[in-house]
Amino acid sequence: MADLLKLSDVTLGFAGNTVLQAVNFAVSEGAIASLIGPNGAGKTSLFNCVTGFYKPQQGRITFAGAELRPLKPYQVTRAGIARTFQNVRLFREMSVLENVMSGLHCRTGAGAIGAILRLPSQRREEAEIHARAAECLDFVGIAPSEWQRNAANLAYGHQRRVEIARALATSPKLLLLDEPAAGLTKGEKLELVTLIARIRNERGVAVLLIEHDTGLVMSISERVSVLDHGLMIAEGTPKEIQSNPRVIEAYLGAEDAEAALAL
Amino acid sequence: MANQSPALNVPPPGEPRPSAWGGLRAFFDTPVKRAVALIVLLVFMIAAPGIFGAYATVILTNALLYTILALGLNIVVGYAGLLDLGYAAFFAVGAYTVGILTKEFHWSFWATLPVAVAAAACAGVIIGGPTLRLRSDYLAIVTLGFGEIVRISARNLQITGSASGISSIEQPWLFGWHISSQRDFYYVFLGLAVIAIICSARLANSRLGRAWLYVRHDEDAAEAMGIDRVRVKLAAYVIGAIYGAIGGAFFAVNLTAISPESFSFQQSTLFLMAVVLGGMGRIPGVILGAFVVVLGPELLRDVGSLRLLFFAVGLLLIMLFRPGGIWPVRRA
Amino acid sequence: MTLANLLAAQLVNGLVLGSFYALVALGYTMVFGVVKLLNFAHGDLYMVGAFVGFLALSVVSSLIGNPWLAVALSALCAMIAVGVLGVVIERIAYQPMLKAPRLSILITALAVSLTLQNSVLSMTNGQIVAFTGNLGFSGLRLGGLFINYKQIVLAVTAGVLMIALQLFVTRTQYGRAMRAVSIDKDMCELMGIDVNRIIAVTFFIGSALAGAAGTMAGAYYGSIWYFMGFLIGLKAFTAAVIGGIGSIPGAMLGGLVLGLLESFGTQIPGIGSEWKDVFSFAVLILVLVFKPTGLLGQSEQERM
């Protein structure tokens, strides 16, 4: 399959610390891939480079053939990459529906004049925004009774799903999920696995996750890449990664080591 | 269903509402009741000059002017969350454009109006463009600086009449109606205020209005959702500027004379107070704030020079104890 | 007047002006360093300092004959009074707002500023008050250049205060703690540093410096009024930004640079004294747009 996202020799540093070192990494179209590694390995920083929040000092990042490095974050999203955050970053005092509607901003165009004059095109667009946001919320399984509630008042697991719905509303080709399972119960994690599969199967969206729950990672990923101290130390299928001695060594001492060894 | 923009600091759930306001709000819970209340209010406003006489008409006209300007500033501060301490600059641009074009070049007022709006919009773009990406503290001071630059320029330049300003501005004609008396201007401002309210409400409930809220809540998350935050902020700034210019234009022909002192930092803070006191981001609150700022000094006449102090302390108390403003907070 | 004399005179003016700006800018930058807030009311503390100094002087000058000593003592009173006022303001108005949205604390700071301004406005009825320091007009003559004693004392005093501050920040425990808090407040709390106390000390010192500058300005210019803090606040902010906000040497440098820029800038044909302030604001805007980190600040990339 063609490479959808490709990082070539990406190097990122902050005030003397090298966070990413000559990282080569790719995600294929329609793939479900995971990025794992010990804490501080640079995983979120890689996401931030892709989405334009950090500017790497060296290297190339291409997406569907286009260069991502010069783009601003909002342009990256418009190009087709959406993300969720490690700490849920919903717009706290706005309703669930309004949160998801934010994803549709970049796919619509009505401006001030349309709004003030209530032009028919603007009204049509508003109806569409409402409908598409509702559809995304339905897709992730949030009941309509919740849609008008303040996002901050939702149960944690539901908030995470709303964040995913919000990202999906931008009609991405690639979805970046930053630790989507953190804080979820066992049952919610199983639902997450189903959701991720549906996102790829029903909507054709490629998914890249950062995740610490190795069980979840191994059960859903087609390809796993391992980052340690800014270096890509291994890539392969879940089975290959689990028996890779370098990976085990990187995790040795961490609580995940046992889980990795056990599987 | 129209979702009103939230207050800045929503009190934690479970906190009781003050009972007087709570009772009032509960009474007007259906759209029909609210529509009736609005109609009654409108009729009252139309009849007001007749009921209250000439002096009150002048004060109410001023309150309506402040309403328009506060609504404009509310878009910048309340919706987009940008602290603008130099809003009087746009007010000045509108007023002086009309003054100069009608007095020096003998244009008709109605022809100058679009020029005033365009001039303010340009000013908004020129100032906002490079500065809106600055952090909020810096932006506040830069807008203050810009306000001062406009005022000082107006005071120094010949074309703006220097310190004495521009006088004997001609008042406009509209289809045979010479808008010249205080009553005439009252109705003009009432009409403008109604238009301003409708525009603000429509903007709040639109894609752009939501974008302002997203950017105000969490800039980075908004960017991650594909929203160009600089452009969105600039839109707020320019639209606010346009409100200011329109207010300024009609202000100029109402008073027939303008001078730099009407566009000082004190003026900018009064507009800001109107927005904050009533309740940032909420249209009824902003209108209330505007009326409080204008009518307050009238009712507190005997307090004299202490009235500005009153407002300053009031603002401080509101920020510390009731940051949502005087208007009651509505819970989602 | 020869060109050399003219330039030298402007140099002196610039340095004196710059000393005022530097003293006030220091307070801005120090407070910004520890609480990451631009204290909008800071300029008004300078104004309060001038009035406290004025009141102190009226008491002190009847007790002490030497006008210089009297002014110095009044300045000292002003420093203490304004320092305390600064801490009170921080406790009452800013501390409760530290967790609130940015906009709220900025408006609170504005409210404090307006309260101070309007309080003094009410007390003085908006009149300009004469500050009789009786410091005289004598000075030194260096060739064609005349330097007022007031200018010398002022510049030297400002210099002494700044050196004292620099020593405090680098050599004492409090000073080191202040720098630590400005780098990472949360870490300091975890390390057991009493952050609240450090913040209070910072506000005290910053405000005291502004108060001193206010009294000195009163003695130097001979008059004070309720609105004098407004402009100086903006200029001092400009100075702090030029030097790099958060950097103490930066504030000193920025103050001097701005003072000199203003002094020489007004000699440029076309920019008379009426345009002086516009010139400074233009400098501010240009610096913020093109080099927001100033001369001595560092470029930061924010971590998400």
Q: What is the distance in angstroms between the Cα of B301 and the nearest Cα belonging to chain A?
A: 39
% of chain B with per-residue pLDDT over 70: 87
CA distances from A105 to A132, B224, C27, C89 (A): 11, 11, 43, 42
Q: Is A130 on the interface with B (CB under 8 A)?
A: no
Is the Cβ pair C301, A48 closer than 8 Å? no
Q: Is B220 on the interface with A (CB under 8 A)?
A: yes
| B193 lies in some domain | yes
Q: So what's the pLDDT on residue B50? A: 83
On the question of pLDDT at B195 being above 60, the answer is: yes
Judge whether C198 and C60 are in contact, CB under 8 Å: no
Q: What is the distance in angstroms between the Cα of C61 and the nearest Cα belonging to chain B?
A: 31
- Tell me which residue range forms the domain holding B106: 51-263
Q: So what's the pLDDT on residue C202? A: 92
Q: So what's the pLDDT on residue B18? A: 45
CA distances from C117 to A201, A219, B148, B315, C247 (A): 65, 66, 18, 14, 28
Structural domain count, chain B: 1
Judge whether A10 and A23 are in contact, CB under 8 Å: yes
Interfacial C residues in 244-303 facing A (CB < 8 Å): 301, 303
On the question of pLDDT at B332 being above 80, the answer is: no
Contacts for A39-45 with beta carbons within 8 Å, 24 or more apart?
A: A39/A254, A40/A229, A41/A227, A41/A228, A41/A229, A41/A230, A42/A12, A42/A227, A42/A229, A42/A230, A43/A210, A43/A227, A44/A86, A44/A178, A44/A210, A44/C304, A45/A12, A45/A19, A45/A20
Buried b (16+ CB within 10 A) or exposed e, B238-272: bbbbbbbbbbbbbbbbbbeebbbebbebbbbbbbb
CA distances from A64 to A29, A30, A54, A71, C77 (A): 9, 12, 20, 14, 69
Under the banding of pLDDT at 50, 70 and 90, the label for residue B205 is very high
Mean pLDDT of chain A: 90
Max avg pLDDT among A214-223, B297-306, C3-12: A214-223
Nearest to A210, CA basis, from A40, A75, A71: A40
CATH 3.20.20.60 fits A1-80+172-263, yes or no: no
Q: So what's the pLDDT on residue C266? A: 76
CA distance B233 to C168: 42
CA distance C89 to C111: 11
Q: So what's the pLDDT on residue B28? A: 65
Q: Is A150 on the interface with B (CB under 8 A)?
A: yes
ipTM of the complex model: 0.91
Q: So what's the pLDDT on residue A100? A: 96
Q: Is C241 on the interface with B (CB under 8 A)?
A: yes
Q: Is B246 on the interface with A (CB under 8 A)?
A: no
Q: Where are the domains of chain A?
A: 1-80+172-263, 91-171
Is the Cβ pair A48, C304 closer than 8 Å? yes
On the question of pLDDT at A116 being above 80, the answer is: yes
Q: What is the distance in angstroms between the Cα of C198 and the nearest Cα belonging to chain A?
A: 27
Q: In the predicted model, what is the mean pLDDT of residues A76-90?
A: 94
Q: So what's the pLDDT on residue C276? A: 82
Q: List the single best residue of B74, B87, B138, B293 to mutate versus C (max C Cβ within 10 A).
A: B138
Q: So what's the pLDDT on residue B25? A: 59
C107 contacts on B by Cβ (under 8 Å) = 83, 272, 276, 315, 319
Under the banding of pLDDT at 50, 70 and 90, the label for residue B17 is very low
Is the Cβ pair B227, A94 closer than 8 Å? no
Rounded to 5°, angle at Cα A109 from A108 and A113: 140
Q: Is A84 on the interface with C (CB under 8 A)?
A: no
CA distance B179 to B188: 8
Mean pLDDT of chain B: 85
% of chain A with per-residue pLDDT over 70: 95
Q: What is the distance in angstroms between the Cα of B1 and the nearest Cα belonging to chain A?
A: 10
Q: In the predicted model, what is the mean pLDDT of residues A183-201?
A: 93
| B158 lies in some domain | yes
Element containing residue A187 per DSSP (H, E):
helix A186-203
Q: So what's the pLDDT on residue C80? A: 95
| B301 lies in some domain | no
CA distance A112 to A102: 17
Q: So what's the pLDDT on residue C147? A: 81
Low-confidence ranges of chain C (pLDDT < 50): 301-304
Q: So what's the pLDDT on residue B248? A: 96
Q: So what's the pLDDT on residue A74? A: 95
Token pair recorded at residue B101: 């074009």
Q: In the predicted model, what is the mean pLDDT of residues B159-166?
A: 85
Q: What is the distance in angstroms between the Cα of C100 and the nearest Cα belonging to chain A?
A: 14
CA distance A19 to B109: 62
Under the banding of pLDDT at 50, 70 and 90, the label for residue B53 is confident
In chain B, what are the helix, strand and coil shares in percent, each to the nearest 5?
Answer: 75, 0, 25
Instruction: Give the lowest-confidence range in A190-204, B148-162, C58-72.
Output: C58-72
| B294 lies in some domain | no
% of chain C with per-residue pLDDT over 70: 96
